[in-house]
Amino acid sequence: MDSPSLNRRGFLIGGLAGALTMTAAGTTGLRLFDSSRASAGTGFVVDVTGDYEFTDSATGCRVSVQVRNGIRRIRANGLPNHSHGSFPNASVSPQSYDFSLPTAPSRGGGTALTIPQPFGIAVNGVLFDPLAAEWWNNDPAWHYNALGGGVPLFLDTNNAHVQPTGAYHYHGIPTGLRESMPTTRHSPLIGWAGDGFPVYLNRGYRKPRKKSSGLTRLTSSYRLRSGTRSGGPGGRYDGQFLSDYQYVAKSGDLDENNGRFQVTPEYPGGTYCYILTGSFPVIPLRLEGPLADSFVRRPGAGAPPR
């Protein structure tokens, strides 16, 4: 990861287009180019559930993933493999991520995320970070929703922005990463949560354990409250704050963690997984399993997400 070597384990991704594609088996892959074929615009595909390593010469994105003995080790510099916006508070700069996540995570023992804990990491090495470090009147009871429009977070077209440390991170669906995926197939596996469970976009089978049931757009079970706020900033519930929403069991397809147990192309026998939805919370705010030790981020460990 120290230099953009182009050998059997270091590959060059082509350009700024989204890198997600499909393998011959119909699972999620990354399209990579080796040194002998890059100039011709041809390449090959690696399955994101296994080992892969790449450097994108156009963006500087570097990722190395190794799966050994029940552990998925992800090392990345946090730079996206797609174009990104410019931001008023900092410039996007390389990070040093090194996470070890279980390949057979356990359910139970999860909890709600709090600042500065990110949710997970995308297959391109960029963090999913749903929480904004912004509160009304500095009151923790009134936590602004990052995508609610209550505070200017200067998100780019990838629903992402940068921390003062230079760490680029997604607050919503990473449009630049998903662009090249077919829209008529099952969602791609887009990343991994901090407990090790996989993360998908919101297109799955109508019946979670039955592939032949056809595809549908999976929906969150969170609903905007009705009426007006009884305290704090007052006003009607309009989605500016996290507490403007409530979980209503079985009102959508997903549980309180914005996940469900389902079969997927990568897990034909089924797995618990998280879904990035088109409506609140978009990126889950809770985890089903315990955080991997390497993914725990405690207050004071660097600048908080914004």
Residue 68 buriedness (CB in 10 A; 0-12 / 13-18 / 19+): exposed
What are the φ and ψ backbone dihedral angles of 113, each rounded to 5 degrees? -75, 145
The pair of three-digit structure tokens given for residue 26, joined into one six-digit string: 């119909």
- Distance in angstroms (rounded) separating the CA atoms of residues 124 and 286: 22
pLDDT digits (tens, 9 = 90+) for 217-243: 999 999 999 999 999 999 999 999 999
Kindly tell me if the per-residue pLDDT of 1 is higher than 90.
no
Model confidence pLDDT, tens digit, residues 173-203: 999 887 766 678 899 999 999 999 999 999 9
Cα separations in angstroms, 148 against 87, 167, 274: 19, 22, 21
What rounded mean pLDDT belongs to the chain? Answer: 88
Question: Bigger pLDDT: 183 or 293?
Answer: 293
Average pLDDT of 251-270?
97
The enclosing H or E element of 152 equals none
| Average pLDDT for 116-126 | 96
Q: Which two tokens stand for residue 24?
A: 């011959």
pLDDT at 182: 67
| Residue 128: Cβ within 10 Å count | 27
Give the pLDDT confidence score for residue 199 in this predicted structure: 98
Supply the pLDDT for residue 207: 97
Residue with the larger pLDDT of the pair 154 and 11: 154
Averaged pLDDT for residues 54-65:
89
- pLDDT band, very low/low/confident/very high, at 298 (cuts 50, 70, 90): confident
Band the pLDDT of 42: cuts 50, 70, 90: low
DSSP line for 51-104 = -EEEE-TTT--EEEEEEETTEEEEEE----SS-----SS-------EEEEEESS
| 3-class DSSP state of 243 | helix
Q: Looking at 24-33, 36-45, 244-253, 297-306, which range is the least confident one?
A: 297-306
DSSP-based three-state secondary structure for 204: strand
What SS3 class is residue 127? strand
* Stated pTM of the model: 0.90
The 10s digit of each residue's pLDDT in 62-94 is: 999 999 999 999 999 999 988 899 998 899 999
Compare 127 and 300 and report the one with higher pLDDT. 127
Please give the Cα distance from 191 to 178 (Å, whole number). Answer: 11
| Residue bearing the bigger pLDDT, 19 or 112 | 112
The dihedral through the CA atoms of 87, 89, 95, 99 has a sign that is: negative
Number of Cβ within 10 Å of residue 202's Cβ equals 20
pLDDT of residue 41: 54
